[in-house]
Structures are given as structure tokens and as C-alpha cells.
Amino acid sequence: MPAAAIDPNQRVNLSKARLLIIDSNQHSVDLLGQMVKGLGFQDIVRCMSVAEAETSLRAETFDLVITEAQLADGDAFALIRAMRRDADHPNRCSPVIVVQGHVRPEDVASSRDAGANFVVLKPITPQVLLQRVLWVVRDKRSFVEAASYVGPDRRFKFEGPPIGSEGRRREDAAEPISLESGANMSQNEIDDFIRPQKVSL
């Protein structure tokens, strides 16, 4: 997807957006809170556990949810999945950005398959966070409601036929191109996995 340039002089108004931050670590909540206030968010709710977040998410609609992947009383994936699968949930279609530290491919797959919009790799900076917010705003993906998945459309690139099958296209490779060799993913790999709308600040 071609990069869409963002004018640093472009105005963004986040003052009326209701933001939910979910993180069990007080230090992280404080630091992220400072960052989002600086970016212009004023209406911020903070939750420190899955249980607390469930209550907040049931009670009101948020314009954006930023959640740490691993929380003190569980992971955020079940929380996102439950949100997406309940047709009457007030935040069924609310954008969700998952923040992850040391990331393995299966962690990103868990976020994506739960129905998260994007994954942000730590350490977070104001630039990266604002860029992801802009990605959310520009995201043209449809929502998919299927028996096994509800959330932003995950289909975005052809990754070849299933391993072990011959495929039907002339250009289909008969063998997997390579095996996963690293235990950690870069932000670029994660973005590629989740289908970003590329912007440059």
C-alpha cells in the first residue's frame, strides 16, 4: 500500500475522543497517560485489570482502546474477543490498539485473531502512537462477522497455498519459502502482519 504523507501542519482534534487505557502497571499507565494527554486526548479512563476493563467496556462506548497484551488477571485477547463477538456490546466495533513488549509471532497472531486493529511494539513514543491513531482513523477495512472471528478484515495478502498442498496457481511455490527463525518480531514485521495504512510523520 502506498505511503500517504501526513502534513505536520495538519490539525488533529482528539479532545472529544473517549479513550480507555488498560494496563496493570501503574508506571506504564502514568507514562502512557502523559503521552496521550500531550497528543490531545482529554477524556481518558484508566483500568488496571481485565475485570475492571470489562466493567468499563460494558458501561460506555469508547472511541479508542489502548491495551497492554498481558494484564495482571489475564490477557487482553479474551477481552477483545468477547467485545467483538457480542452483537450488543457497546464497544463491538471500537478500535483497539494492543501494546506488546517482547513480541513473538504467535503473540501478534493472538492479537490479530482476537480482533485487534493494530499492534504497537514497545517502547512506545508519541510519534508511533499518533501514527497508529491515524492508521485507525484511515483504516478502510470492513468488519468481518463470521462463526470463528469477528473484527477487522484480516485478509490482505496472498501467503501461498497451505504447506503440503501443491496450490492451483502457476506461481504457487510447492514448498514453504522459509521457516520462522527468530523468536522476536520487529515493528515492521508486525505492521506487515496486521495490514497497516502507512503514513509518514
Partner 1 sequence: MKPARLFKPDVRLSKLIAEPGGATIASSLARAEQRLEAVRERAIADIDGMIAEIAARAKDADERTRKVVYALADQVFAFAGTLKLAELSAAAHSLCLLLVREAPPPTQREIDLHVSTFRALRRPELSGNKTARAAVLDGLRRMAAAAER
Output 52 or 70, the one with its CB closest to partner 1. 70
Sign of CA dihedral 15, 94, 99, 77: positive
Binding residues for partner 1, how many (CB under 8 A)?
Answer: 54
In the shown chain, the binding pattern of residues 102 to 141 toward partner 1, with x for contact by CB under 8 A and - for none, equals x-------------------xxxxxx-xx--x--xxxx--
DSSP type of residue 85 = H
Output 82 or 134, the one with its CB closest to partner 1. 134
| 114-130 exposure pattern, b = at least 16 Cβ within 10 A, e = fewer | bbbbbbbbeebeeebbb
Contact residues for 131 (Cβ-Cβ < 8 A; gap 6+): 199, 201
Which one of 1, 147, 163, 179 is in contact with partner 1 (CB under 8 A)? 147
Which one of 1, 2, 3, 27 is in contact with partner 1 (CB under 8 A)? 27
Output 174 or 183, the one with its CB closest to partner 1. 183
Task: Return d(Cα 124, Cα 163) in angstroms, integer.
Answer: 36
Which one of 4, 5, 12, 173 is in contact with partner 1 (CB under 8 A)? 12
Q: Which of 158, 160, 122 is nearest to 27 (CA)?
A: 122
> What is the SS3 string spanning 133-183?
HHHHHHCCCCEEECCCCEEECCCCCCCCCCCCCCCCCCCCCCCCCCCCCCC
Output 6 or 82, the one with its CB closest to partner 1. 6
Output 51 or 72, the one with its CB closest to partner 1. 72
State the residues that interact with partner 1 by CB under 8 A: 6-17, 25, 27-28, 30-31, 34-40, 61, 63-64, 93, 95, 101-102, 122-127, 129-130, 133, 136-139, 142-147, 153, 183-184, 201
